[in-house]
Structure 1
Amino acid sequence: MSDTPSSNRGGCAGDTPVARQPHAVLDLPSRRFKGLKIERLLDLANRPQPIRMLEVGTGSGGIAHYFGTHPQLRCEVDAVDIHDNRLVTEGYRYHQVQDTRLPFADESFDVVLSNHVIEHVGDEQAQRAHLAELHRVLRPDGVGYLAVPNRWMLVEPHYKLAFLSWLPHAWRTPYLRAMGKGRAYDCEPLQMKQLEQLFAEAKLDCCNLCIAALHATFDIERIQSPAVRLLRHVPDRALLQLRRIIPTLIYRFSRPVSESR
C-alpha cells in the first residue's frame, strides 16, 4: 500500500493532467513495522549518531514518529508532504511542500526515505525531479531507501484491481471507471529496469533489496499464511529469478563513491 505523494498534479506523458489523491496509509501499527524494516535494511544501528533523517511523503507520520522517538537510535527527523494527513505529530519536524522540490540545503541529510512516493509525483519528468532532489539533499556518505509498487504486480495496491498497471496508459482510467473504482488513475508504478535507469540518470548508485526485504518482513510481521510459509523455504537463488514480478521494488541508494571523497 502506498504512502503519500510528493505532487498532487500531473499525468502520464501526453495525457491530460489529473488531480492526484493522497493515498496515505493511516494504519499506524503497519508504519511501526515499516519503520523497523527500514531500520534493518539500512543497518541504521551501525551508522554514526545522531542521524539527520528526511522522510519524503510522510502520510500518517507513523514512520517519522517511529524514528524520531526511537529508544536506541538518536534521529533528528524532518518530514515533508503535500497533503497533511498526519495522525501523529511528535518526534519530528513537518514541512508542507507544493511539488518535488525540497526546502532544504544541499547535503543536509544522512538518511533519506522515499517510501511509496515516486509513483505519485507525476510523469517520468517529475520522477526524475524527485530523484534529483533526493540526490541533492543526501550527504556524500549518506544512504537512502526507496520503495515503489512494481508495474507487474498482479493486483494494483491503490485501487485493488487485477492487472490495472499492466495495461497501456490510455486503458487504465477507462478500466478504473468501468469497475467503479474511481474517476482517473493517478499513479505511475515502475518496472525494475526502468527504475534502475532513473537512478542512473540521477547519478545515484542503487542496490536491489527485494529479497532482504522479504526476509525482514517474514521476521518482523510473522505472517503465518500458507503462501508465506512456502516462500520461507524457497532458496534465495530461486527468489532472485522472481525479482521482476515481486509486488514491491525496494532499493537502497547512495551517491557514487567518487562523491564521498
Structure 2
Amino acid sequence: MSEASSSDQTQEAGHSTPAVRQPHAVLDLPSRRFKGLKIERLLDLANRAQPIRMLEVGTGSGGIAHYFGTHPQLRCEVDAVDVHDNRLVAEGYRYHQVHDTGLPFANQSFDVVLSNHVIEHVGDEQAQRAHLAELRRVVRSDGVGYLAVPNRWMLVEPHYKLVFLSWLPHAWRTQYLRAMGKGEIYDCEPLRLGQLEKLLADAGFRYRNLCVDALRATFEIERPQSAATSVLRSIPDGLLMPWRRIIPTLIYRFWL
C-alpha cells in the first residue's frame, strides 16, 4: 500500500486477503518531505491540539511518517503500516506489518489518518470499501483524514507511465500494458471523482475536495519562484474548480 503497494483481494474474516499485487512505493525521500509539508498545510495541522496521534496507511519509503515523527514544531506520535516493507528511513515512528486492509489498532485511536495513494492498490471496490471502513473505525470523532488517489481520467497513468491506460475498459488495461512491455498485469484501480465521493459518503465520512488547494500548495512548496506559480496565484479558485474532475490526482480531507 501507499504511493505504494498491496494485492489482489479475497475475503476472509471480514477483511481482504492479499494475493498478487505488486509494490509501487515512491522511494524518492526528498519528494516525501514535500508531500509531508503539503499534507501538513492542507490539514492545517499547526492549529490542531498536540500531541497529534497519527496513522499513515501504506508508508512505502517511510518518508512521510518520518517527516511528521521528527517534525521540529508539531508533536506527532506516528504509527505506519504497509503490506510490503520498503522503508528507507525508520526513525521517528512505529512500523507495523499488515497483510490486508485490516488495521491492528483499537477503535478511535487516531487524531489524523493518512491514505496517500493507497486505495488504488488495495484491490477491487469491496476491498476499497474495507479500507475506508477501517479508516473510519480508527479515526477519532474529532479527527481528520487525508486521502489522495490517481484520477482515472489522468492523461498519463503514473505507475506505468502509459498514456490513456486507465481510460480503457478494465479488461483491456492488462493487454495494453503487456503490448507496451510495461508489465504482466495492471494491478491498480484509479477512481473517478464521483465514484470516490460515493465511497467516502457510504463509509460515513463528510469530505471536502482539496484538488485546487493541493495544486496551489504543490507549486508554492516545490516551485515558489517559478512563472507558473505566479500565474497560478493570479487565477481565482472559481476559474479552477470546474477543472477538478480532470486534475490528475483526486485529493480529499475527510472527517466524521
Unaligned runs of 5+ in 1: 12-16, 256-261
1:3 aligns to what?
3
Report the alpha carbon displacement of residue 225 of structure 1 after superposing the two structures with TM: 6.8
CA distance in 1, matches of 2:86, 2:35: 18
Q: Give the conservation status (yes or no) of the 8 Å contact 1:52–1:77.
A: yes
Shift of 1:231: 4.2
1:232 Cα deviation from its structure 2 partner: 4.4
2:172 aligns with 171
Q: Whole-Å Cα distance in 2 between the matches of residues 225 and 159 of structure 1?
A: 28
Give the aligned partner of residue 128 of structure 2. Answer: 127
* Distance 1:175-1:223 versus aligned 2 partners, 3 A rule: farther
For the 8 Å contact 1:18–1:186, the answer to whether it is kept is no
1:214/1:104 Cα in 2 relative to 1: closer, same or farther (>3 Å)? Answer: same
Q: 2:206·2:255 contact (CA, 8 Å) conserved in 1? A: yes
Change over 3 Å in CA distance of 1:160–1:119 after alignment to 2: same
Q: Structure 2 unaligned segments of length 5 or more: list them.
A: 11-17
Q: What is the CA distance between 1:234 and its match in structure 2?
A: 3.2
Give the 3-state SS of the residue equivalent to 2:74 in structure 1.
coil
Contact 1:53 1:110 in 2 (8 A): yes
Query: Any idea what SS the aligned residue of 1:245 has?
Result: coil
Structure 2 letter corresponding to 1:168: P
Post-superposition shift, 1:238?
1.5
Q: Is the counterpart of residue 136 in structure 1 residue 130 in structure 2?
A: no
Q: How far has the Cα of 1:229 moved from its partner? A: 5.7
Cα displacement (A) at 1:230: 4.8
1:232, 1:158 → 2: CA distance? Answer: 30
Q: What amino acid sits opposite 1:82 in the alignment?
A: V
**Do the aligned partners of residues 81 and 162 (structure 1) sit closer, same or farther apart at CA in structure 2, a change above 3 Å counting?**
same
CA contact (8 A) 2:216 2:232 kept: no
Structure 1 counterpart of 2:143, which letter? G
> What is the identity, as a one-letter code, of the residue corresponding to 1:195?
L
Give the corresponding residue for 2:13: none
Per-residue CA distance 1:104-135 (angstroms, 9 max, x = gap): 00000000000000000000000000000000
State the AA in 2 paired with 1:103. P
In the alignment, which residue of structure 2 is the partner of 1:190? 191
The answer (yes or no) to whether the contact 1:110–1:142 under 8 Å persists in 2 is yes
Distance in structure 1 (CA, Å) of the matches to 2:72 and 2:55: 18
Q: Which amino acid aligns with 2:202?
A: E
Aligned residue in 2 for 1:217: 218
Contact in 2 for aligned 1:81/1:97 (Cα 8 Å):
yes
Aligned to 1:14: none
Letter aligned with residue 108 of structure 1: S
Deviation at 1:10, TM superposition (A): 3.5
1:59 partnered with 2:40: no
Q: Which contiguous aligned blocks of 4+ residues in structure 1 show a shift greater than 2 angstroms?
A: 223-235
Normalising to structure 2: TM-score of the pair? 0.93
- 1:14-63 deviations in Å (ceiling 9; x for gaps): xxx97211100000000000000000000000000000000000000000
Moved more, 225-234 or 17-26: 225-234
Q: Judge conservation of contact 1:32–1:63 (CA < 8 Å) in 2.
A: yes
- Counting aligned pairs with the same residue, the percent is 79
Contact 1:128 1:202 in 2 (8 A): yes
> What is the DSSP-based 3-state SS (H/G/I as helix, E as strand, rest coil) of the residue aligned with 1:22?
coil
- Which amino acid in structure 2 is aligned with residue 25 of structure 1? V
Shift of 1:223: 6.5
Q: Provide the secondary structure at the position in 2 that maps to 1:107.
A: coil
**Partners of 1:223 and 1:187 in 2: CA distance:** 32
Which residue number in structure 1 is paired with residue 15 of structure 2? Answer: none
Aligned position for 1:258: none
Question: Could you report, residue by residue, the CA deviation over 1:53-105 in whole angstroms, capped at 9, with x for unpaired residues?
Answer: 00000000000000000000000000000000000000000000000000000
d(CA) in 1 for partners of 2:230, 2:158: 22
The alignment partner of 2:199 has SS state of: helix
Alpha carbons 2:223, 2:229 under 8 Å: kept: no
CA contact (8 A) 2:220 2:229 kept: no
User: In structure 1, the residue corresponding to 2:175 is in which secondary structure?
Assistant: helix
Specify the alignment match of 1:70 in structure 2: 71
- Spell out, residue by residue over 1:124-153, the C-alpha distance to the aligned partner (whole angstroms, 9 max, x if none): 000000000000000000000000000000
